[in-house]
RNA sequence: GGAGGGAUGCGAGAGCGGCCGAAUCGGACGGUCUCGAAAACCGUUGUGGGUCCUGCCCACCGUGGGUUCAAAUCCCACUCCCUCCGCCA
């Protein structure tokens, strides 16, 4: 959510920046609603002030045994007037709020203007591995090595689900363990949140209303409130401090969570998104930071560096892209994607999206902090990054680390957990 | 699932329907004192909104409704927390 004052004071400037990410921007309606809301607020304040005065007089007159009928009548009239004005004010405020929710964040000046084609590769690590004449794709590898059971996964959950089995489950867990240890070492707090979240969490994080239909909804007979399965732990983490005021001393606040992510992913996928590239449930460790505005930009760099180090330590060829204004998530000021090379499709696929939201999410979620030696409160900045999602990392490992004899070279950081440096077909 | 109790400012905790945005204690901050510190004493200290903005006004005592000229205070519903009983993969 954007700062209404900024929209009011620099309507054209805000509109121009928003147009770098969406086509129709109508701020005039918002400005008009805002003016109407303030007019009503003022009116309601005046009426309440008058009624407060009358009530005091009423008390005094009643005690003195005077006539209070006139006061009673006028006061009731004002009460009716206030009720009517409040009803209109509520409607106007709701309309205004809905429209504000739909506005995307203002992109940072460093974000390239344009769509996907404007994304800029800012770093590359390693080179395309030489895999010999007949490299296998990750589905073949996973099946041949007995790591993932796609057919029985579909039997259990339907299309888009799989089962990690045996060494596959251990490999998956080894990755998660590797991430968890790294984040703990860097001073992040480990969080295991509920996977079921109330709807208000979705709105606060900015995923609703846009992605309302893309999550699994949970609602049982008789439930007053509806919930959903979280599509990313980010949704849970930002809500940890929803409606709270933090002290400046405890910022930056660094957290990470491990959860599966549940996504409906309705519609058919492209042919190159087979295997675990796009499923309904995948494992992810998510990094999150709450910072002061000053700390925000550096925190983004820190998180990108962290994620890159993880992929690097796994020895995977990857690149880092700075996302364009239209390709980045609408809630974010600036986003870097870490993309790993997938030989079978000849593309770099996102394994982590690291973003700086500025105060956009904090405004929605009402997360503030008390600046030291300053009166009042200010909104925190929020940042998040996958650290990491395994569903694309594992395919990259299976494909990049395959050996001509069909075996898999286990990346060094995972060897201790697996008790082996190579996995062979049964 | 059943029966009770509770929710007030940064924390604890008072609050007869008008004198309550709220006692008191503690914390934090500033000051006096001190070579310095402690102690003591004095002062300041919620959030949001509006505005004709060195000020003034309004709203907020878990949330939403109701009664009333007037609600932190009375009534109803809901949410959450605590205690006891029951059930339990």
The DSSP line for A367-420 is -EEE-TTSSS-EEPEEEEEEEEEHHHHHHHHHHHTB-TTS-EEPPHHHHHHHT-
Q: How far apart (Å, rounded) are the C-alpha atoms in residues A327 and A350? A: 13
Q: How far apart (Å, rounded) are the C-alpha atoms in residues A93 and A36? A: 9
Report residues 244-273 of A contacting strand B, contact meaning Cβ closer than 7 Å.
245
Q: What's the mean pLDDT in A296-302?
A: 96
Name the residue with tokens 């709807």: A199
Per-residue pLDDT tens digits for A202-258: 888 888 878 888 999 887 665 667 889 999 999 999 999 998 888 888 889 999 999
Per-residue pLDDT tens digits for A23-47: 988 899 999 999 999 999 999 999 9
Reported confidence tier of residue A355, pLDDT bands at 50, 70, 90: very high
Q: Report if CB A38 to strand B is under 7 Å.
A: yes
Name the residue with tokens 């870097």: A336
Q: Give the global pTM.
A: 0.91
- Average pLDDT across chain A, whole number: 91
The bridge status of strand A120-125 relative to strand A318-322 is antiparallel
Q: Report if CB A224 to strand B is under 7 Å.
A: yes
Per-residue pLDDT tens digits for A188-210: 999 999 999 988 898 888 888 78
Q: Are A11 and A31 in contact (CB under 8 A)?
A: yes
Could you check whether the bond before residue A209 is cis, i.e. omega within 30 degrees of 0?
yes
Could you say which nucleotides of strand B lie within 7 A of any protein CB atom? 10, 18, 47-51, 57-59, 69-70, 78-79
CA of A251 to C1' of B31 (A): 30
Q: What's the mean pLDDT in A68-83?
A: 88
Per-residue pLDDT tens digits for A362-401: 998 989 988 877 777 889 999 999 999 999 899 999 999 9
CA of A57 to C1' of B25 (A): 36
Q: What percent of chain A has pLDDT over 90?
A: 68
Statement: residue A63 has pLDDT above 80: no
Q: How many C-beta atoms lie closer than 10 Å to residue A83's C-beta?
A: 11
CA of A375 to C1' of B52 (A): 26
Per-residue pLDDT tens digits for A93-137: 989 988 998 899 999 999 999 999 999 999 999 999 988 878 899
Q: Which range is least confidently modeled, A76-90, A266-280, A371-385, A391-405? A: A266-280
User: How much is the pLDDT for A271?
Assistant: 66
Q: Report if CB A52 to strand B is under 7 Å.
A: yes
**Closest CA relative to residue A336, chosen from A350, A316, A315:** A350
Reported confidence tier of residue A267, pLDDT bands at 50, 70, 90: low
Q: How many C-beta atoms lie closer than 10 Å to residue A93's C-beta?
A: 16
User: How much is the pLDDT for A239?
Assistant: 92
Q: What's the mean pLDDT in A292-304?
A: 95
CA of A76 to C1' of B67 (A): 14
Q: How far apart (Å, rounded) are the C-alpha atoms in residues A90 and A327? A: 35
Statement: residue A426 has pLDDT above 80: no
CA of A61 to C1' of B29 (A): 44
First to last CA, chain A: 54
User: How much is the pLDDT for A65?
Assistant: 77
Q: Which residue is nearest to nucleotide B69 (CA to C1')?
A: A72
Q: Which range is least confidently modeled, A71-75, A263-267, A410-414? A: A263-267
Render the burial of A199-238: b for 16+ CB within 10 Å, e for the rest. Answer: bebbbbbbbbeebeeebeeeeeeeeeeebbbbbbbbbbbb
Q: How far apart (Å, rounded) are the C-alpha atoms in residues A314 and A126? A: 11
Tell the burial category of A318 from Cβ atoms under 10 Å away from its Cβ (0-12, 13-18, 19+): buried
Report residues 307-326 of A contacting strand B, contact meaning Cβ closer than 7 Å.
none
Q: Report if CB A62 to strand B is under 7 Å.
A: yes
CA of A197 to C1' of B66 (A): 32
Q: Report if CB A197 to strand B is under 7 Å.
A: no
Reported confidence tier of residue A358, pLDDT bands at 50, 70, 90: very high
Q: Report if CB A7 to strand B is under 7 Å.
A: no
Q: How far apart (Å, rounded) are the C-alpha atoms in residues A240 and A189? A: 12
Q: How far apart (Å, rounded) are the C-alpha atoms in residues A176 and A180? A: 6
């Amino acid at each position: 959510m954007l700062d209404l004052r900024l929209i009011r004071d620099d309507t054209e400037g805000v509109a121009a920046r928003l147009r770098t990410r969406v086509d129709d921007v109508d701020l005039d309606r918002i400005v008009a609603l805002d003016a109407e809301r303030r007019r009503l607020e003022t009116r309601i304040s005046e009426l309440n002030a008058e009624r407060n005065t009358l009530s005091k007089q009423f008390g005094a007159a009643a005690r003195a045994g005077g006539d209070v009928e006139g006061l009673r009548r006028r006061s009731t009239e004002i009460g009716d007037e206030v009720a009517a004005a409040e009803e209109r004010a509520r409607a106007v405020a709701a309309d205004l709020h809905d429209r504000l929710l739909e506005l995307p964040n203002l992109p940072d000046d460093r974000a390239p203007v344009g769509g996907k084609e404007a994304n800029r590769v800012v770093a590359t690590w390693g080179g395309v591995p030489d895999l010999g004449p007949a490299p296998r794709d990750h589905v073949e590898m996973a099946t041949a090595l007995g790591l993932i059971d796609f057919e029985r996964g579909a039997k259990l959950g339907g299309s888009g689900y799989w089962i990690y089995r045996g060494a596959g489950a251990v490999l998956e867990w080894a990755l998660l363990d590797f991430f968890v240890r790294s984040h703990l070492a860097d001073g992040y707090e480990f969080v295991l949140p509920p996977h079921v979240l109330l709807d208000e969490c979705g709105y606060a994080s900015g995923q609703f209303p846009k992605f309302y239909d893309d999550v699994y909804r949970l609602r049982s007979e008789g439930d007053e409130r509806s919930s959903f399965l979280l599509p990313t732990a980010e949704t849970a983490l930002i809500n940890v401090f929803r409606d709270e005021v933090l002290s400046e001393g405890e910022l930056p606040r660094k957290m990470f969570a491990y959860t599966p992510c549940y996504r409906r992913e309705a519609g058919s996928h492209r042919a190159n998104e087979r295997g675990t590239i796009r499923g309904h449930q995948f494992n992810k460790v998510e990094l999150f930071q709450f910072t002061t505005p000053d700390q925000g930009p550096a925190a983004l760099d820190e998180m990108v560096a962290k994620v890159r180090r993880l992929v690097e330590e796994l020895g995977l060829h990857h690149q880092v892209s700075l996302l364009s204004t239209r390709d980045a998530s609408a809630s974010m000021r600036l986003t870097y994607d870490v993309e790993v090379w997938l030989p079978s499709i000849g593309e770099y696929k996102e394994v982590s999206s690291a973003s700086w939201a500025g105060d956009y999410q904090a405004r929605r979620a009402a997360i503030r902090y008390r600046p030291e030696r300053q009166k009042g409160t200010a909104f925190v900045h929020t940042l998040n990054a996958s650290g990491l999602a395994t569903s694309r990392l594992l395919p990259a490992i299976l494909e990049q680390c395959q050996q001509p004899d069909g075996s898999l070279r286990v990346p060094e950081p995972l060897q201790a957990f697996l008790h082996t440096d190579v996995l062979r077909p049964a």
